[in-house]
Structures are given as structure tokens and as C-alpha cells.
């Protein structure tokens, strides 16, 4: 049994079951590179402050480098003999350079050490997610640009509402992803706080140069309160919240892809390479990938609620409950990362059925609002126009006709202000172009939004969905 870092106060060996239950090495081993980076920065600072000798620091740093290379090549076993990654690092160091390795822990605790490691991890994870979100935004912008001439039904309550550009619909998700990016980017300011030097909870008796360590590790500031620093997991919760909102947006997009690819809609086709079949029904082509993204959203939500519940009753400062942050964090990142990768590839493997989309905008009275606006332009108040058009829709339904199929005489029976020019307002193909106010579905506005999105995403003058 490996000797514990904290074993001096104990008379009995730890029970084997306690070792298994207490250990976090099974999952926190993925922090090893961050733990080594932190140890190297800490060690160099100790030497700069005269707390250890320069030659001791050099030997420790060289040994840590060798340990990292061995870990990179899978030469370590992550078993319960090591309680956590910090214990493994220190034991490995001692095996290489003897008692000198024990000096690396001077002036720090596992409490500020783990906080440092997790902050470094969340910083990298956030930047990785931001990059993946950008890839999805680019995929959406390419699709929007390629389909700027396609009109589709816009929906409210899953009922056909008004004609909109397909590009406008796609860019709605670009906007959602833009906010997601901003959330992760904004959170980095709060992640990028260096806790090392807080020790267990009260700071250190050694003259530590925390600013030096912060500079070496790329932190913009150091923590201002040692008790808060070791017990703060707000930055993990914020990552999980950001991830949950991002997954919600991907789930909404997935839901639309599932619906649109159904035979009832037939708006979109997903390539065979990104679908699966049925074990019993030979004709089936199932949209499993968007369904899985939709399903995994609940998994990420669960991690957020789990950690919120864990943290809600903890007194200051560190408590072992906080070990539960890592599995939630790691799995949430892994889930979000693969879902973003799949979604980006999926968006490149869909084609839109222009004929079905065109047919859909010509039924369901999508131009009713346009007709009401037409009447307002003829001097009718909007509320009166709304009621008149509602009656016209009811009449057309009873006649099994669309509004544009009514005769001028029929329409004048509802409002004498209606004239021959009304038929231009009843053409769904002309409807989007009337909505060129900022943020609207008008082609001019949507074209400008595509250009702005391309500038923002550094897309240049790409052509087609295969652009980089």
C-alpha cells in the first residue's frame, strides 16, 4: 500500500474500501499536465524567493518534465494506491530524485493545488468550446448564403405563420451560438484568477511571489481571499451553465432537423452517412445523430444541477464533497465537445428540398398578416384589419381556397378598400422582401447579416459548404 501524504497523524492503515471510495485518481488523472505546469511554476518561484536552491529547482523541474513525458506515453498506472493526481505526482517525483521531491509541496496545499488545476482545465476547455462553436457558426452561415433565395414557412406554436427566408431561420441559430460564445468568453475573466498561494485556507507563512506564478501560468490576476479561493467552484458552475445553454440551443436545432427530415415535412434530407436504419423495418432511415444530441442535453443539465446541489450547503472552506465537481465537469465538456463536432459535420451533410419548401409557403394562409398590413395602408386601423382578415380566412377555409384564390369581388365583400393591387400582397414569394427593417427577414437585411457574420468569423470570400 502506498504511503499517504497525510499519514503521519494516523495509527491504522486506511481500509481498502475507504481507499476505493475516497480516491479520485480514476478521473482526475486527466489533470496531470495542469498539475505539472502548476508545480513547475511554483517550484521556480520558490527558487526565485530563496525558499529552495536554484539547483534544487532545476532538478525538480527536469524530473517533472520526464514524468510528463512518461504520462504522455501511458507509462503510469492510475490505481487506488494513489489517492489523487497530486499524490501520484509527488510520489513519482520522489521516486526519481529522492527526498528532494518532497520540497515541491512547500508553501501550498492540495486545496489550492486542485483549484489551480481545475481552473487551468476550464480555461482550456472554454477556449476549445469557443473554437467549436465558431465552426458551427461558419457551417450555418455557409448554408444561409447558399440558400439566400429559398423561402420557407416560419412557425409559431408549430403552426405555419409567415413566409421567411430559410437563411434567416438558419441565422437565428448563428445568433444563439454567438451568445453562447460570448458567455464562455465572458466567463474566462472569472476563470483566469490564480489561487495558488492560498495554501489550505489561510495563506502561507512563506514569502511567496504569487504574481510571478500568475504570470508564468498566464493568469490575469490572483485571488484576493484565500478562504474563497480554495472553496470557490463558481467557475465550474458557470462552465456547466454555459454548456447547458449551448446544449439547449443545439437541442432546438436538432429537434428541427428531426421534424424537417420527417416524411410529413420533407424539408430536409440528411445524408445516409449521418443516419441509421431499423433492425426490423427495412425502409427506415432514422435521424439518430440529432436525436442523440437532443438526448444528451439532459445529461449536461444533470451535471449542472448535481454540482449546484453539492455546493449549496457547504461551509467554508474546502470539503471533500467538492471532489464531485470533476466528473461532472469532465463529462459535460466531453459531451459538449463531441456534440459540437457532430453537429458541425451534420450541417454539412444536409440538403434542402426546395420544392417542398415552396409548396409549404403556398398553403396555410401565411400572407394573412401581409393582407392586414395592406388594409392598414388603405386607412383601416390594424385591429379592424385583423378582424376583417380573420373573417376572410374563415371564408376561404369554408371555400377550400387560399386567400390568393379568392375573387376580387369576394374580398371587396369584406372591405371595400381592397383593390386589384391586393394580389401582390397575397404572393408569399414577395412577402419577405417587404420586411427589410433591421433584424427582419428581408433579403437585403439577411444578406447584410451574412456579410457581417462572415467578417466576424473571419470567413473571407468562401464559396460553398466545402469552404474552410
Catalytic (active-site) positions? 157, 278
Report long-range pairs for 284-291 (Cβ below 8 Å, ≥24 apart): 287/257, 287/258, 287/261, 289/342, 289/346, 290/253, 290/254, 290/255, 290/257, 290/258, 290/343, 290/346, 291/254, 291/258
Cβ atoms of 362 and 151 within 8 Å: the answer is no
Q: How far apart are CA 215 and CA 227, in angstroms?
A: 22
Question: How would DSSP label each residue in 412-463?
Answer: HTT-TT--TTHHHHT-TTTTGGG--STTSS-HHHHHHHHHHHHHHTT--S--
Q: How far apart are CA 411 and CA 408, in angstroms?
A: 5
- Residue 368 makes CB contacts below 8 A (sequence gap 6+) with 389, 390, 393, 403
* CA-only gyration radius of the chain, Å: 30
**Closest to 450 (Cα-Cα) out of 177, 146, 131, 183:** 146
Longest CA pairwise span in the chain (Å): 100
- Residue 173 makes CB contacts below 8 A (sequence gap 6+) with 140, 249, 252, 253
DSSP structure class, residue 138: H
Amino acid at each position: 500500500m502506498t504511503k499517504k501524504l497525510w499519514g503521519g497523524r494516523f495509527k491504522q492503515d486506511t481500509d481498502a474500501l475507504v481507499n476505493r471510495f475516497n480516491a479520485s485518481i480514476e478521473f482526475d488523472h486527466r489533470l496531470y499536465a495542469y498539475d505539472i505546469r502548476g508545480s513547475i511554476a511554483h517550484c521556480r518561484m520558490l527558487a526565485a524567493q530563496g525558499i529552495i536552491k536554484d539547483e534544487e529547482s532545476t532538478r525538480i523541474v527536469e524530473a517533472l518534465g520526464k514524468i510528463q513525458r512518461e504520462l504522455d506515453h501511458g507509462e503510469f498506472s492510475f490505481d487506488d494506491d494513489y489517492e489523487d493526481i497530486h499524490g501520484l505526482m509527488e510520489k513519482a517525483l520522489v521516486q526519481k530524485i529522492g527526498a528532494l521531491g518532497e520540497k515541491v509541496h512547500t508553501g501550498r496545499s492540495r486545496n489550492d493545488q486542485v483549484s489551480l488545476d481545475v481552473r487551468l482545465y476550464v480555461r482550456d476547455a472554454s477556449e476549445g468550446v469557443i473554437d467549436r462553436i465558431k465552426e458551427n457558426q461558419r457551417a450555418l452561415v455557409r448554408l444561409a448564403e447558399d440558400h439566400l433565395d429559398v423561402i420557407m414557412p416560419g412557425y409559431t406554436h408549430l403552426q405555419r405563420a409567415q413566409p421567411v427566408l430559410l437563411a434567416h431561420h438558419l441565422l437565428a441559430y448563428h445568433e444563439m451560438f454567438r451568445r453562447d460564445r460570448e458567455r464562455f468568453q465572458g466567463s474566462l475573466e472569472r476563470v483566469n484568477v490564480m489561487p495558488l498561494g492560498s495554501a489550505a485556507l489561510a495563506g502561507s507563512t512563506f514569502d511567496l511571489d504569487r504574481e510571478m506564478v500568475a504570470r508564468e501560468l498566464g493568469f490575469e490576476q490572483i485571488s484576493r481571499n484565500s478562504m474563497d479561493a480554495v472553496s470557490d467552484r463558481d467557475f465550474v458552475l458557470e462552465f456547466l451553465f454555459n454548456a447547458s445553454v449551448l446544449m439547449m440551443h443545439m437541442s432546438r436545432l436538432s429537434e428541427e432537423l428531426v421534424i424537417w427530415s420527417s416524411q410529413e415535412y420533407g424539408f430536409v434530407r440528411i445524408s445516409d452517412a449521418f443516419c441509421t436504419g431499423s433492425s426490423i423495418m427495412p425502409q427506415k432511415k432514422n435521424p439518430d445523430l440529432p436525436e442523440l444530441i437532443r438526448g444528451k442535453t439532459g445529461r449536461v443539465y444533470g451535471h449542472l444541477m448535481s454540482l449546484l446541489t453539492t455546493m449549496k450547503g457547504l461551509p467554508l472552506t474546502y470539503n471533500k464533497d467538492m471532489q464531485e465537481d470533476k466528473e461532472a465537469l469532465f463529462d459535460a465538456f466531453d459531451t459538449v465537445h463531441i456534440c459540437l463536432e457532430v453537429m458541425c459535420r451534420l450541417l454539412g451533410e444536409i440538403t434542402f428540398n426546395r420544392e417542398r419548401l415552396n409548396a409549404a409557403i403556398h398553403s396555410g394562409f401565411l400572407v394573412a398578416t401581409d393582407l392586414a398590413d395592406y388594409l392598414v395602408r388603405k386607412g383601416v386601423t390594424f385591429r379592424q384589419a385583423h378582424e376583417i382578415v380573420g373573417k376572410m380566412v374563415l371564408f376561404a377555409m369554408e371555400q377550400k381556397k387560399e386567400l390568393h384564390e379568392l375573387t376580387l369581388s369576394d374580398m371587396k365583400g369584406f372591405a371595400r378598400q381592397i383593390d386589384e393591387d391586393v394580389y401582390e400582397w397575397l404572393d408569399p414569394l414577395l412577402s419577405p422582401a417587404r420586411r427589410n427593417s433591421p433584424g427582419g427577414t428581408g433579403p437585403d437585411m439577411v444578406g447584410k447579416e451574412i456579410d457581417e457574420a462572415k467578417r466576424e468569423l473571419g470567413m473571407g470570400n468562401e464559396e460553398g459548404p466545402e469552404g474552410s
